[in-house]
Amino acid sequence: MSDALKGADGALRCPWALSADDYVAYHDEEWGRPVHGDDALYERLCLEAFQSGLSWITILRRREGFRAAFAAFRIAEVATFTDADKERLLADTGIIRNRAKIEATVANARVLADWELGELDELIWSFAPDPATRPAPKSLSEVPAVTDESTALSKALKKRGIRFVGPTTAYALMQACGLVNDHLTDCASRKGAPKGAF
């Protein structure tokens, strides 16, 4: 048995998924599911960076505001943001108004705009560990905050000029984008993952 808890619908889920209503759909439909595509991965990278020092629910509840503010996280568009755009973002109550994180989001888009199509996707996914080496966690205490792979991913991204992506942020990205499956053993989302997802 794992620490998975039964939700209102009777399905077992990771305990964090039941701590707020907003989490249920995110947990069931997104978290741990494979994400591909440069823009999609850039969005997750940015949101994880904004989450640093905050709770994920804070970011999740502002996600549509972030998408509106940052041109749906289209790398080519964010890369053209000017100082005036940054000032606009600092005044936008629909997002987290942190100057350093806003600056990093724009700077990262400018770096990524010079990469080949699919290069971000390929780089990030090259750090996905072999699932056979990762036993399913039974409790949240068995879920790491940092791994050798996330540390290596963080270093690789930083070396290429990407900012605000430490090992913990890199691991959260890996969890959110399906590079690892940290749904607990008895979690319905682990058991009902699409074939080949993990």
Binding-site positions for Zn(2+): 14, 27, 183, 187
Residue 192: which residues within 8 A CB-CB, separation 6 or more? Answer: none
Of the listed 31, 42, 48, 149, which one is catalytic? 48
120 φ/ψ sector (left φ>0, alpha ψ -120 to 50, else beta) = alpha
**Cα distance between residue 38 and residue 2, in whole Å:** 35
Q: Which amino acid is at 31?
A: W
162: which DSSP letter? Answer: -
183 contacts 189 by C-beta, under 8 angstroms: yes
| 42 labelled catalytic | no
| 48 labelled catalytic | yes
**Cα distance between residue 111 and residue 99, in whole Å:** 18
**Cα distance between residue 17 and residue 194, in whole Å:** 19
Of the listed 26, 103, 115, 125, which one is catalytic? 26
Length of the chain: 198
The tokens describing 65, both together, are 């505001």
| 56 labelled catalytic | yes
Which positions are catalytic?
26, 48, 56
